[in-house]
Amino acid sequence: MSGPSDSPVLVPILGDQLTRNLASLRGRTKDDTVILMMEVWDEATYVKHHKQKIALIFSAMRHFAEELRGAGWTVNYVRLDAEGNAGSFTGEVARAIEEHSPRLVSVVEAGEWRVREDMHQWADKFACEVEILRDDRFICTQAEFDEWAEDRKELRMEYFYREMRRKTGLLMDGDKPEGGEWNYDSKNRKPPKDGLSAPERPKFEPDVTTQECIDLVEERFGDHFGSLETFGWPVTREEAEEAADAFFAERIECFGPFQDAMVAGEDDLFHSMLSTSINLGLLDPLELCQRAEKAYKDGKAPLNSVEGFIRQIIGWREYVRGFYWHQMPHLQKANALNAQRGLPEFYWTGETDMACLADCIRSTRDNAHAHHIQRLMVLGNFALLTGLNPREVQDWYLVVYADAYEWVELPNVAAMILYADGGKLASKPYAASGNYINKMSNYCSGCKYSPNKKTGEGACPFNPLYWHFMDRHRERLEKNPRIGRIYSTWDRMDEERRQEYLDSAEAFLDTLEPASSGWARSD
């Protein structure tokens, strides 16, 4: 039963909704509102998240609760080990309704399908009115995305991005794009020079609250992947702003040209490292883009860097979110290439002779982060070429990155790297041989394998794997105008050479040891 008219409104705030500008807080009065924040077992374990990811989310939640209290809000904060913690969002909202008899539960829609499904049951479950509000931290509404996507056979980010440029007015010169081009991607691909290194990003020493969360995670989630020693994530809006200041002062200039570069041991290069803060709600994506645009207008950053940064946020980030909701729930099970191989054990240990993979996995373990091109063209490319099962690859990415939530992880994994959606998102699979990694990184100089050797002993495994992939998916890919011509190169090789590629790839695939079971979600 709803409480009387003088009873409060209950506002549950989820772990990735940490902003005072949340739709459910707007227009509320402090003496009439109880905010509910909950650390719950279900969220911490629905996959076995990287230890840093759990510590980051709990610490950011605890800091945000304190900030709200300091501003005069009433916050019912349920810690993981609080007595009676029901272990789930639904269970905790039920307990809070018992305790506060609210007249209304007002919540912002969850980012993930699984949680939103539960939320939609709340109105029936609880004897109390429930309103679910749109998450207006995103620029594009789902209705807008669906309308844009309607009747399009292929959904391409580029066209969506132009709509978002028009909608926000970012980098627009009247109705034309600033500088005459919509996209400066071709100026985002500079290979790393010898000794390329970037200024170190600010690391935030754990304070007492963060340290408590780190200790809790070590105690309760000690068997999860990843290290905690290197924890340095921003956990408050102030810290996140400091991280953004450092990016705009020191790294945005080179962000554009070296966006696709990789250097061993240089884990962040010129990337912003802001995704964890944006996804948690500590930073507003549109404000960041406006700041980038100002840097360009003030002559402090070049257009290719600023356009590149804005494209990642109002282009890719908004696009994958719209795509996720447009394609769910079937995107989770999509497997157009019928990829069935289990995830190799080395994705967890980093123990492989392939120097590029070993470095990306080390960074993933130590930082709960790898930058985009490492996720796409090293870890993702390997998963695509070797035919790893999409469900296992999805769960791995969801576990290991501190910025991973299903709405952003799943389209990137299933559709962008694995082509499991059959090409709705990407016009062609992002498949590459060792040549690409050799061009865009310095990994190969420290590797047991040679990118110049194509088959046999000592050959970079990406080389034969590339042709093995192309050969086994010929029927589907040959028809693709962006990829079909590759088959004329294949056909020009003599039969013996082709067989060498295929045998070499098979021999390598035979060496892959699958990870032991139990870490991935079962369907």
CA-closest candidate to residue 164, choices 284, 307, 52, 365: 307
CB of 440 to ligand SF4, least distance (A): 10
Cβ atoms of 206 and 214 closer than 8 Å: yes
Binder of residue 413, out of ligand SF4, ligand FAD, ligand DLZ, none (CB less than 5 to 8 A by kind): ligand FAD
Q: Is 22 in the site for ligand SF4 (CB under 6 A)?
A: no
Q: Which of residues 352-381 bind ligand DLZ (CB under 6 A)?
A: none
DSSP conformation letters of 275-316: HHHHHHTSS-HHHHHHHHHHHHHTTSS-HHHHHHHHIIIIII
Is residue 38 at the binding interface for ligand FAD, with CB under 6 A as the rule? no
| 462 is an interface residue for ligand SF4 by CB under 6 A | yes
Q: Which of 10, 86, 110, 306 binds ligand DLZ (CB under 6 A)?
A: 110
Closer Cβ to ligand SF4, 288 or 437, answer by number: 437
Let me know the angle formed at the C-alpha of 96 by 94 and 102, rounded to the nearest 5 degrees.
Answer: 100
Q: Which of 418, 460, 486, 520 binds ligand SF4 (CB under 6 A)?
A: 460
Beta-strand relationship, 176-177 and 172-173:
antiparallel
Using the rule CB under 6 A, give the single segment among 30-38, 158-166, 400-408, 501-509 that binds ligand FAD. 400-408
Rounded Cα distance between 127 and 7, Å, is 14
Q: Which stretch binds ligand FAD (CB under 6 A): 122-130, 192-200, 404-412, 514-522?
A: 404-412
- Using the minimum distance from each CB to ligand FAD, give the nearer residue, 112 or 403: 403
The b-or-e profile of 22-37 (16+ CB within 10 A means b, else e) is: bbbbeebeeeebbbbb
For residue 370, state whether it binds ligand SF4 (rule: CB under 6 A): no
Q: Which of these ranges, 36-44, 261-269, 330-338, 352-360, lies near ligand DLZ under the rule CB under 6 A?
A: 36-44
Within residues 344-363, the interface with ligand SF4 by CB under 6 A covers: 354-356
* Residue nearer to ligand FAD on the CB measure, 36 or 262: 262
Interatomic CA distance for residues 247 and 312, integer angstroms: 15
List C-alpha distances in Å: 227 to 267, 366, 371, 459: 15, 5, 18, 33
Rounded to whole angstroms, the Cα distance separating 353 from 348 reads 14
- Minimum Å gap between C-beta 41 and ligand DLZ is 8
What CA dihedral angle connects 383, 366, 446 and 197, to 10 degrees?
110
- Residue 278 near which of ligand DLZ, ligand FAD, ligand SF4, none (CB within 5-8 Å, type-dependent): ligand FAD
Q: For residues 233 and 206, what is the distance between their CA atoms, to the nearest angstrom? A: 9
DSSP letters spanning 86-122: -SSHHHHHHHHHHHH--SEEEEEPPSSHHHHHHHTTH
Q: Which two tokens stand for residue 114?
A: 């699984």
Query: Would you say the C-alpha torsion 169, 174, 176, 177 has a positive or negative sign?
Result: negative
Nearest-CA neighbor of 377 among 385, 367, 365? 385
Using CB under 6 A, which of 18, 23, 39, 390 touches ligand DLZ? Answer: 39
Element (H, E) at 38: strand 33-38
- Candidates 14-22, 93-101, 259-267, 417-425; binding stretch for ligand DLZ (CB under 6 A): 14-22
Cα–Cα distance for residue pair 474/489, rounded to 1 Å: 13
Quick one: DSSP state of residue 193?
P
291 binds, among ligand FAD, ligand SF4, ligand DLZ, none (CB under 5 to 8 A by kind): none
Closest contact distance (angstroms) between CB of 277 and ligand FAD is 8
Alpha-carbon gap, residue 468 to 484, rounded angstroms: 15
How many of the chain's residues bind ligand FAD (CB under 6 A)? 28
Residue among 8, 19, 35, 49 that touches ligand DLZ (CB under 6 A): 49
Extract the tokens encoding 146: 């669906």
For ligand FAD, which is the closer residue by CB, 279 or 504? 279
Residue 388 beta carbon to ligand FAD: minimum distance, rounded to whole angstroms: 12
Q: Which does 15 bind (CB under 5 to 8 A by kind): ligand DLZ, ligand SF4, ligand FAD, none?
A: ligand DLZ
CB neighbours of residue 49 within 10 Å? 26
Residue 355 interface partner, choices ligand DLZ, ligand SF4, ligand FAD, none, CB cut-off 5-8 Å depending on type: ligand SF4
In the structure encoding, which two tokens stand for residue 451, read together? 């990118």
Which is nearer to ligand FAD, 415 or 486 (by Cβ)? Answer: 415
Write out the two tokens for 356.
């590029």
60 belongs to the binding site for ligand DLZ (CB under 6 A)? no
Q: Which of 38, 55, 437, 470 touches ligand SF4 (CB under 6 A)?
A: 437
Output the residue with the shortest Cβ distance to ligand DLZ.
15
- Does 442 bind ligand SF4 (CB under 6 A)? Our answer is no
> Which one, 214 or 376, has the nearer CB to ligand FAD?
376
Is 57 near ligand DLZ (CB under 6 A)? yes
Minimum separation from the CB atom of position 113 to ligand DLZ (A): 8
In angstroms, rounded to a whole number, what is the distance separating the alpha carbons of residues 61 and 58?
A: 5
Q: Which residues bind ligand FAD (CB under 6 A)?
A: 271-275, 278-279, 309, 312-313, 316-317, 320, 371-372, 375-376, 380, 397, 401, 403-404, 408-409, 412-413, 416-417
Q: Which residues bind ligand SF4 (CB under 6 A)?
A: 354-356, 434, 437-438, 443-444, 447, 449-451, 460-462
Q: Which residues bind ligand DLZ (CB under 6 A)?
A: 14-16, 38-40, 43-44, 49, 54, 57, 110-112, 115, 405
